[in-house]
Amino acid sequence: MARRARSAVLLLALAFLHVAQQQQLAAYPFHVSCSGLAASKQTCLFNNVCFVPGANASLTVLLHGTSTAQHTELARRHFEGLLAPHYGGGVWFNASNAPAPVRSDPDGPTVDHAVTLFWRPDPNNQYSFGHALVNEVFSMFLVLSNHFGDHIPRRLQVVCASSWHPVLHHLVSSMIAHRAQLWTDKMKAHERGVCYRHVLVGDGGYVHASRASLTNSGHPQAAQYASGPSFFSSRNWWAFRAYALELAGVVEDNSAHHTRPRDLVLLNDKRHGSEADRRMIMDIEQVAANLSAALPSAEVAAVRIRDLAWPDQLRVLTRTSVFITTQGSSAFRLIFLPRGAVCVMVGAPAEPGSEWESFHELDKWFPLSWVEFVKYEVPLNATWAYEPSPLSCTWVNNTNTRDRGWCLYNANIRLNASRLHGIVAPFVRA
């Protein structure tokens, strides 16, 4: 009896905590940068909303349990832009005091009880791991965290209101929710409509959001984030990392660094299947072999990370002690390195007058407190170290600063074995 009483008290306390949390969130909406970096987007969680297709390619959005014009207008403002491109006959919004359906009816809309996140990604954010991760997937996580705190529902799905590239779809289904589909596919499967118990409109399409979100970025809008949650804070990245690991079913080895059998030194081989990439480490197998001979106590491996299944990628990264990589999209996996890991970032220093910043992934996007970053800078005049192929540019005699900077930023790089060993050795146990 006493145990049941304690359980009842605990449940009641949790209920009050949830109400207080929702009130706090309502009073302080979380702002994220929009495309122009000069405004913020509002996100809203709606309950009991039905979407019913009508005649002449129209759609009716019906809000149950409310009759206020304010709520109807709020729904119109959030949903109309997302859905209108699919309905030439218009999107219409109505409110009803009638209770929402609680179960699916063969003659009516399907009732979907999962928390649903509506999203419209920017086309430019969909084709590479890095842009999709930073500007869409991580933004999804922050929107969810704003509304649910540390208790993001596991019964979750994402509905894309526009279209998405396989790269973005893979990241969303791997890191946010296993159920991720297009709005058009959802409605084809439910021709009589869908009633969502909980639908969160996140919108999406954040472009270069990181530049204004760091309070130390120097951007004119950066100051607005000083008093609120830091968009790209180390704490937020760590929370996202934990969420993604749990979703993938990967249990991290949290034993102390010194108790692990051997340190893993991982070189990021950017080749994928038969495809090459930009910013690769040249002769990477030989580099790994030389480093292995010089560090006999460590496990040294050059791994084509993108060729691994997603959970296997995470398992390798979470046990890596030293991660050696050039800049670029695939390097963004560094957020999954464990506490105490070291990332050796290889790249060209900034050339005066060039718009192509060096190490911008490191300096601008990832303020990670649990990873120590070390730069392997390649001198601008080290012509032997840069290989611009397969890019169609020559930089050695190029006097155009912009073109030369672009070549340096994207070139493959040859590493000096003794210099690399000198950088890595202090972080590897003898």
Q: Per residue in 337-376, pLDDT tens?
A: 999 999 999 987 766 766 666 655 554 556 678 888 888 9
- 215, amino acid identity: T
> What are the C-alpha distances in Å from 281 to residues 71, 313, 419?
55, 19, 14
Whether 174 shows a pLDDT value over 50: the answer reads yes
DSSP 53: E
Give residue 335's pLDDT. Answer: 92
Give residue 149's pLDDT. Answer: 81
Q: Which residues lie below 8 Å from residue 34, measured CB to CB, with a gap of 6+?
A: 40, 41, 205, 206
Whether 32 shows a pLDDT value over 50: the answer reads no
Q: Is 369 exposed, middle or buried (0-12, 13-18, 19+ CB in 10 A)?
A: exposed
Greater pLDDT, 86 or 3: 86
Buried b (16+ CB within 10 A) or exposed e, 73-90: ebbeebbbebbeeebeee
DSSP 364: I
Give residue 314's pLDDT. Answer: 97
Q: What is the pLDDT of residues 93-152, one digit of tens each?
A: 988 888 888 888 888 899 999 999 999 888 888 988 988 998 889 888 988 887 788 889
Q: What is the pTM of this model?
A: 0.82
Greater pLDDT, 384 or 427: 427
Q: Which residue stretches of 149-260 are H helix?
A: 166-175, 183-189, 209-213, 234-248
Residues in the chain: 430
Give residue 67's pLDDT. Answer: 61
Q: 46 is written with which tokens?
A: 């709606």
Nearest by Cα to 157 from 117, 199, 185, 206: 117
pLDDT band at 242 (very low <50, low <70, confident <90, very high): very high
DSSP 72-116: HHHHHHHHHHHHGGG-TT-EEEEEE-SPPPSS--TTSPEEEEEEE
Give residue 323's pLDDT. Answer: 96
Alpha carbons 400 and 343: distance in angstroms, whole number:
32
Give residue 284's pLDDT. Answer: 95
Alpha carbons 346 and 211: distance in angstroms, whole number:
22
Identify the H or E element spanning 9: helix 2-27
Give residue 367's pLDDT. Answer: 64
Q: Which residues lie below 8 Å from residue 426, measured CB to CB, with a gap of 6+?
A: none
Strand-pair category, 264-268 with 299-303: parallel
Least confident of 78-92, 205-219, 358-372, 386-400: 205-219
Mean pLDDT of 404-429: 89
Whether 216 shows a pLDDT value over 60: the answer reads no
Alpha carbons 353 and 406: distance in angstroms, whole number:
12
- 3-state SS class at 33: strand
- 3-state SS class at 194: strand
Q: 364 is written with which tokens?
A: 């601008």
- Average confidence score pLDDT of the chain: 79
Mean pLDDT of 297-326: 95
Whether 30 shows a pLDDT value over 50: the answer reads no
